[in-house]
Amino acid sequence: MDKILIHGGRPLAGSIKVSGSKNSSLPILAATLLTREPCVVHGVPDLSDTHYMLQILIHLGAQVERASGTVTVSADNIGSVAPYNVVRKMRASICVLGPLLGRCKEATVSLPGGCVIGDRPIDLHLKGFEALGAAVRVEGGNVKVFAPKLTGAIINLRGKFGPTVLGTDNVMMAAVLADGVTVIEGAAQEPEVVDLANFLNKMGARIEGAGTRRIIIEGVSALHGTEHDVIPDRIEAGTFLVAGAICGKGITVKRVEPEHVRSTTNALASCGFPISIADHAISISPNGEAKALELTTEPYPGFPSDMQAQMCALLSTTDGISVVTENIFPQRYMHVAELKRMGAEMQLEGATAVIQGVDRLFGAPVMASDLRASAALVLAGLKADGITEVSRVYHIDRGYERLDEKLSELGAHIERVKET
């Protein structure tokens, strides 16, 4: 098992290119199951999560080829059962349920289990399938769905903590082959949902309204193969922008969609960091007197929960008292205890973190607990005095393509070593 060592205090400078979006790639790869014809997807990041998804597709009977970020999937003959041993490593594997139901009219997919950032149930996914006419059973740790015919319906997918992204994806993928018109109310507006809808439309689907709270899907009889470029990863882009704020002399993040990271750049600008935005590049410059911030996570286009931990790392050394409230996953604060080991002063009050900025952080052995918490610890290590040792970095490899190498290109002293 690997760990990452960060020798803090090195200023970052230069430019870096953002990889393709993990959260777009996973449902798009699942959507290739909707057609017998080959689909070619460009810009798929080299991550453990995308590897797991390809393993699931292969298990289901698809033929998969991968080379230099391009994945070709041919799903001519597929099965409809994805057991626990192939889905257990990744919660997003549940997004094969929708395309299997849409194409095969039945599916059995094992529940992938819980998550360290809190319970993320799939009840809204199943509610959507039932509205389309499917019978749903959950037994023995498996979800079984069956429908001799899917029929369009009006479905509201807004949950307790806002719209469900994977639920919107799953229901949309099932509905594209249903009879009639499906209307998803309370749909997730994330750019990744729009990317999936664009991919499906290229396959011959008829989807309108993606990116709004109301998506209209006119069912078609069949889909065909297509070719598609995945959008840039907005969370990776945001993470590098925060790295530039923490210890940058001036860095530029390239291959980014500025509108997708607007809430992050707005937050950084509110802290006092100069931001310069071009067509597909964003630059951030240092500020010796950064300001504290009040921040609340919200569904897109609000500030993303996936950037909350990284901002906590930044605010830990920002003068004054910052207040961060987590409205999407209230339990998503596993990074707080680890940042406190490095000298951060943070207190949790329910779903709110109160952060008193300190002058210095100190390198320490810390443990990654989830994907974004891992990134926060690496960012803090860039700022800290001494050496920060981050273990369990397989969490990082789930969602960041070559994070340590890219930071090294910007001037960080960071290395990956084997744990003894």
Would you please indicate which residues are annotated as catalytic (active-site) residues? 115
Q: What residue spans of 132-190 are helical by DSSP H?
A: 165-175
Q: What are the CA-CA distances from residue 214 to residues 100, 166, 260, 311, 350 (Å)?
A: 24, 15, 19, 31, 32
- Beta strands 281-284 and 248-254, pairing class: antiparallel
Q: What are the CA-CA distances from residue 354 to residues 43, 157, 350, 351 (Å)?
A: 38, 32, 10, 10
Query: Read out DSSP for 270-320?
Result: HTT--EEE-SSEEEE---TT-B--EEEB-STTSB-GGGHHHHHHHHTTSBS
Whole-number Å distance between alpha carbons of 376 and 396: 10
CB 34 within 8 A of CB 60: no
Quick one: CA torsion of 398, 402, 404, 407, rounded to 10 degrees?
-120
CB burial class (10 A; 0-12, 13-18, 19+) of residue 280?
A: middle
> Which residues pair with residue 70 across a beta bridge?
67
Q: What residue spans of 1-62 are helical by DSSP H?
A: 22-31, 48-59
Q: Six-digit token pair at 8?
A: 């803090």
Nearest to 125 by CA among 103, 87, 155: 155
Q: Six-digit token pair at 96?
A: 């094969």
Q: Six-digit token pair at 99?
A: 């395309």
